[in-house]
Amino acid sequence: MSEQEKKFLEICDLKKSFGTGEAKQDVLRGMNFSVSKGEFCVLLGPSGSGKSTLLNIIGGIDTPDSGYVSINGDKLKDMDEKALTMYRRKHLGYVFQMYNLIPNLNVKENIEVGAYLSDNPLNVDEVIATLGLEDHKYKYPNQLSGGQQQRVSIGRAVVKNPDILMCDEPTGALDYKTSKEILGLIENCNQKFGNTVIMVTHNEAIKYMADHVIKLRDGVVRHNDINDKKIPASELEW
C-alpha cells in the first residue's frame, strides 16, 4: 500500500464549535488521524463526542472552523459548494440511521437514485441480490420493515461504488438481529467492492468487526487503534 493510500483520508487538527459567547460549545477540539484506502473504520464515542459532526465534515456537508480534511490528497476546504457537491457525488455514499427513502419510488428505483450519480455504478440487480432484496424490489418503502428499508438505503449508497461509504449510526433504529444483518451487509460490501467505510456508532461491540477503531470523547481522539483481530459481523454480540 502506497503512502497516499495509507493516508487516503486524512484529518488534520480539525476544530469545530457551535454557538457563541457563554453558549459556545467546542465539539471538535483539534482532531488528527488518517484512514487507509479500503479500511473499515469505526468512529466510536458517546453522545456529544463529536462523531456525527466529524462525519458530516468528512462528508463535506459541514465545515470545520479550522484544520482540514483531505481525501486522496484533495483538501475539502479548498473546494467551493459546487466542487463539494461533485466530490460527494463521485466519491461518497451515505447511510443514515433513518433510511430517508423516496416514498413513491420502489426498491429498485430508490437504488437507481444512487446509481444515477455515478460514472461507473455497480449493477443494480447485483446490488439488490447482494442485499437480499430480490423479492422486494418492486415494493414501496412503506411496504418494507425497518431493516429492509435500511438495506435499500445501503444499496442506494453502495451502488454508486463510492470511494468512501459513510454510515451514521446505521443500526441505531434497528433491533439486534436486524442490526447484525445490516452490519454484515456493510462488511460484505466493504470486502466485495473495496469501499472505504467510515461508520459512526456508539455501540462498542461494533468495533470488533472494524480494521480501524477511533474512539472519540469530548471532541478529541482518545484512542486510535488498528484492530488485528477483527471478527465477522455475524459473530458480534452485545
Partner 1 sequence: MKNPLIKRIPKELLGDWQKYLVIVIFMVLMIGFVSGMSVGRNSMLEAINTGKVTLKLEDGSFEFKNKASEELIEAIEQGNMADVREYLISKGYEEADGEVAKAAEEELSRQVREGIESAVRAQCELSGITDEDMIRSQINSFMEENYESSLEEARNSDEYREALDDAYREAHEEVVNAVDEKWDETVEEYNLNDPDFIPVQVTVYEHFFRNEDEDFDKDGVRDAAVRVFSSADEVDQASFNEGRAPENENEIAIDRMHASNVGVKIGDTIFVGGREFMVVGLLSYVNYTSLHENNNDLMFDAFGFNVAMVTPESFNQFRTRIHYSYAYFYEEKPEDKVAQAECADNLLKALITQSVVFENDLDDFLPECYRQASNFAPSDVEGDTAGTEILCYILIAVIAFIFAITISNTIEKEASVIGTMRASGYTKGELIAHYLATPVVVTLIGAAIGNVLGYTWFMDSAVNIYYETYSLPACDVVWSPLALVKTTVIPLLLMFLINLIVIVRKLQLSPLKFLRHDLRKSKRTKARRIPGWSFMNRFRLRILFQNIPNYVILIFGIVFVEVMLCFAFGLPDSLTHYGDHAPDMLFAKYQYVLMGTKDDDGNELVTSNEDAERFNSTSLLYEKNVTSFVKGRGSGGSTEAVTVYGIEDGSKYVEINTGLNDGEVYISSAFRDKFGFKTGDKITLSEEFANRSYEFTVTGFVDYEGGIAVFMPNESFIRVFDRKEGSFTGYFSNAEITDIDEKYFATVIDKDDIVKVTTQLMHSMGGFMVAAQYILVILAAALIFLLTKIIIERNEHSISMVKILGFKNSEISSLYMIPTAFIVILFTLIGFVAGYFILIYVFRAFMLQMDGWFTFYMSIKSMIMSVIFMIAGYAAVSVFDFIRIRKIPMDEALKNFE
Contact footprint for partner 1 (CB under 8 A): 56, 59, 61-62, 82, 85-90, 92-94, 96, 98-105, 109, 112-117, 121, 141-142, 146, 153, 156-157, 160
Length of the chain equals: 238
- Record the cell numbers describing residue 87, joined without a space: 466530490
Minimum distance from CB of 171 to partner 1 (Å)?
15
Measured at the alpha carbon of residue 2, what is the angle toward residues 226 and 117, in degrees to the nearest 5? 85
Minimum distance from CB of 200 to partner 1 (Å)?
13
Kindly tell me which of 23 and 228 has the beta carbon lying closer to partner 1. 23
Minimum distance from CB of 209 to partner 1 (Å)?
24
Cell 438495506 found at: 151
Kindly tell me which of 45 and 59 has the beta carbon lying closer to partner 1. 59
The neighbour count for residue 26, using CB atoms within 10 Å, is: 16
Kindly tell me which of 2 and 120 has the beta carbon lying closer to partner 1. 120
Kindly tell me which of 162 and 215 has the beta carbon lying closer to partner 1. 162
CA distance 122 to 37: 19
Secondary structure class of 232 (helix, strand, coil): coil
CA distance 221 to 133: 38
CA distance 153 to 149: 6
Minimum distance from CB of 141 to partner 1 (Å)?
6
Minimum distance from CB of 115 to partner 1 (Å)?
7
Q: CB neighbours of 221 closer than 8 A, spacing ≥ 6?
A: 31, 32, 33, 214, 215
Kindly tell me which of 36 and 195 has the beta carbon lying closer to partner 1. 195
